[in-house]
Amino acid sequence: MSLGKILIVEDMEDTRFLVSRVLGRAGFSILEAKDGKTAEVSLSREGNIDLVILDIGLPDTDGYALAKKISKALNGCKICFMSGKKEKSEVLKAIACGGDDYIVKPVLPEQLLSRVGNLLDKEELVESYHQLECKMKANLVGSKIVPDIQIQAIGEAEVTVFSTARFADGTHLNVESPKLQALLKRSQSGVILRVSHCERQGYGRYLLQCHFVGLSEQESAQLRAFVIRGRYAA
């Protein structure tokens, strides 16, 4: 039985083959497109696509324009951008165009499975991780709301936090944290999280399950190393 149907829109044959093979072996039904035109044909023929993995730089269009069309045409279809661009501005632009997640190339198979598992709620594809405690502020992307955020657990792809504000699933947070910045060894501030679940823990206190958006493979490696150690290295 298929875990779901995924359309891979990628002009590089090697990358498309890798992603298709990894997800196909995991149990997904796979469709492939090498450009925007082919992708639109698949989208019109297949109305029950669960996820589109979308490259930004396509031969006949850009992924941002295609993402807007997908969002209008397929209600409930998830969109995961996949690009070599790792600038925060590109991630924010992808979110604004309807993206639910953003994977930075090159992509490792285990990273791909974890991110797809998070998007499609396939717990068997998602690993659990150790604890990290620190305090930080999170700004809602495109909003002035600034709730208090306290991290309870952190992993390679996901973060569990306590918040003083309630958020709808799919909300994106722009987190400012010197500790998290140091952990990722990035010079720029701000890490984008996507809320996948929000549960009330008491008056003015909510437990959020979030996932990192737009981490490079180097940053994912830093988190992976931290998870193995099980502690924050100052």
* C-alpha neighbours within 13 Å on the C-beta side of residue 37: 2
List, in sequence order, the alpha helices (H) in 97-130: 109-119
Query: Which of 61, 60, 57, 40 has its CA nearest to residue 49?
Result: 40
Return the H-helix or E-strand segment holding 14. helix 13-26
Rounded to 5 degrees, φ, ψ at 215 are: -75, 140
CA gap 33, 28 in Å, rounded: 16
Last residue of a domain, one of 104, 125, 146: 125
Domain shared by 66 and 114, yes or no: yes
Which one-letter DSSP state was computed for residue 166? Answer: -
**Residue 138 confidence (pLDDT):** 58
Q: What CATH number is attached to the domain comprising 92?
A: 3.40.50.2300
Last residue of a domain, one of 89, 108, 125: 125
Domain shared by 120 and 149, yes or no: no
**Residue 232 confidence (pLDDT):** 40
Query: Residue 105 pLDDT more than 90?
Result: no
Domain shared by 145 and 102, yes or no: no
Question: Could you tell me the residue range of the domain that residue 72 belongs to?
Answer: 5-125
Q: How far is CA 49 from the centre of its chain?
A: 18
Domain shared by 208 and 163, yes or no: yes
Q: With cut-offs at 50, 70 and 90, classify the pLDDT of residue 49.
A: very high
Domain shared by 19 and 83, yes or no: yes
Q: What is the largest CA-CA distance in the chain?
A: 53
Domain shared by 158 and 98, yes or no: no
Cβ within 8 Å of residue 173, ≥6 positions away:
138, 139, 140, 141, 149, 167, 192, 193, 194, 195, 210
pTM: 0.66
Residue 189 in domain: yes
Q: Where is average pLDDT lowest: 28-32, 116-120, 151-155, 157-161?
A: 151-155
Q: With cut-offs at 50, 70 and 90, classify the pLDDT of residue 127.
A: very low
Residue 234 in domain: no
Domain shared by 211 and 151, yes or no: yes
- The partner residues of 207 in beta bridges, in order of sequence, read 162, 199
Per DSSP, the three-state class of 123 is helix
Domain shared by 22 and 120, yes or no: yes
Per this entry, what is the length of the chain? 234
CA gap 200, 208 in Å, rounded: 9
Domain shared by 151 and 176, yes or no: yes
